[in-house]
Amino acid sequence: MEANRASLDDFDALVALYWPGVFRFALASLRDRDRAATVAQDCFLRAWRSRERFRGDSSVRTWLMQIAVNLVRDEARSRKLQFWRSARAASGDFGALSATVADQGESPEAAASAREQLRAVWRAVRGLPERQRTVFLLRFTEEMELLEIAAATGMAEGTVKVHLFRALRAVREQVRQVSP
Amino acid sequence: MNEHLNPDAIDRYLGGERDKAMENHLRECAECRRAVERIETTLEQFRASAQAWSESQPQGQPPAGLAARVEAPASLFWIAPARWAAVATAVLALAALPVYRNYRRNQAADRARADALLLEEVCADLSRPAPEPLEPLIDLVSQSTTQSTPGDNQ
């Protein structure tokens, strides 16, 4: 926690340490690189300007994620149409990416199946309600603990679990459909 | 062996809510272990794909000018263009307000003048013995009356 606090005295260090996670979360949520970058910038500027109010109850990372979650939610709500438009537009990126990620020296059939499953996860995530998607992404892209997710989203831990389990069920169902 | 893990139990396990009974079962049951490992592998690939996607973007690295923005937090130059547009619109609206009021005042005065003119015309019409189009008839009648009067006298 002390190391975390120290990073609040150095803006460059704060950004260097946490930018990738904040940008990644915003990108996976919004599926638009420019808007994700705007959210990440706003997140760090807001955090820096209100750093005096940071009490240290959570880690700096959780605090930044809390700001990012709010910004992503505002951004998604204010531009719902563009959100879905860019979600469709971004689907092309996943084709190339899933090919890279899923191809790990397996047989062509196994690699194709892995790619299909990966696409199914992204499809499922896209279709999740906002809170389920947020919780799912914080858990499975940022590897945050349930209590950290509760702190970042302002939900009770029990609520986080409910959203996470529902999201997992939806994701498993999509995966099961492409790979029974 | 215990019963297989049901889907809810697998979701709880994947979500991090694990207990001894689940872990013991997964050690003993190859079928459940395969089911969990399969979805865990997919979720791990999902995490890796999100990371790869993010890192492949130019915006995956912080922008160069970000630190400069926090050094001048109060600077007006960092107000977003949309906010500038909103401020400019508000200023224009305030500047236009007196002009608009003056225009409305002039409009009201013009309307009052037009109303007064109309009223005058109406009064003039009312003071006529007959409507304007019938006035030639009135003239005819008065002429014939004038002409016949001497005859009557005859």
Nearest CB neighbour to B63, from listed A41, A100, A140: A41
Mutation target to probe the A interface, by most A beta carbons within 10 A, among B13, B42, B44 is B42
Q: Which helix (H) or strand (E) holds B107?
A: helix B81-127
Residue A98 has pLDDT above 70, yes or no: no
Q: Which two tokens stand for residue B46?
A: 């999902």
Chain B residues close to A164, C-beta within 8 Å:
11, 15
Those residues whose C-beta lies under 8 Å from the C-beta of residue B132, and which sit 6 or more positions away, are B125
Chain B residues close to A12, C-beta within 8 Å:
67
Residue B62 pLDDT level (bands cut at 50, 70, 90): confident
Contact A55, A151 (CB under 8 A): no
Residue B144 has pLDDT above 50, yes or no: yes
Contact A69, A152 (CB under 8 A): yes
Q: In this structure, what is the dihedral angle of CA atoms A28, A33, A39, A45, given to the nearest 10 degrees?
A: 130
Q: Which two tokens stand for residue A179?
A: 């790979």
Those residues whose C-beta lies under 8 Å from the C-beta of residue B72, and which sit 6 or more positions away, are B78
3 state DSSP class of B57: coil
Average per-residue pLDDT for chain A: 84
Question: Cα–Cα–Cα angle for A84, A86, A91, nearest 5°?
Answer: 100
Q: Which two tokens stand for residue A50?
A: 């209100």
Residue A59 has pLDDT above 70, yes or no: yes
Q: Judge: B48–A164 Cβ closer than 8 Å, yes or no.
A: no
Helices A130-140 and A60-78: crossing angle in degrees, nearest 10, is 150
Residue with tokens 């492949």: B56
Put simply, the chain A residues between 109 and 148 with a CB less than 8 A from any chain B CB are: 114, 117-118, 121-122, 125, 137, 139-141, 143, 145-146
The 10 Å Cβ neighbour count of residue B137 is 10
Q: From residue B80, how far is each of A37, A99, B86 by CA, in Å? A: 14, 38, 10
Select the more confidently predicted residue: B134 or B58: B58
Residue B152 has pLDDT above 50, yes or no: no
Residue A90 pLDDT level (bands cut at 50, 70, 90): low
pLDDT tens column, B89-139: 888 888 888 888 888 888 888 888 888 888 887 777 667 666 666 667 667
Residue A52 has pLDDT above 50, yes or no: yes
B36-60: average pLDDT: 91
The pLDDT, as a whole number, for residue B94 is 86
The pLDDT, as a whole number, for residue A37 is 93
Residue A86 has pLDDT above 60, yes or no: no
Could you tell me which of B8, B23, B15 has the C-alpha nearest to residue A158? B15
Chain A residues close to B48, C-beta within 8 Å:
101
Instruction: Work out the burial of residue B114: count CB atoms within 10 Å of its CB; fewer than 13 is exposed, 13-18 middle, 19 or more buried.
Output: exposed
Alpha carbon distance B10, A180 (integer Å): 16
Q: For residue B90, give how far its alpha carbon lies from the nearest alpha carbon of chain A (Å).
A: 22
The pLDDT, as a whole number, for residue A2 is 47
Q: For residue B108, give how far its alpha carbon lies from the nearest alpha carbon of chain A (Å).
A: 43
Chain A residues close to B42, C-beta within 8 Å:
114, 117-118, 121, 175
A153-158: average pLDDT: 95
Please indicate, yes or no, whether the overall pTM of this predicted structure exceeds 0.80. no
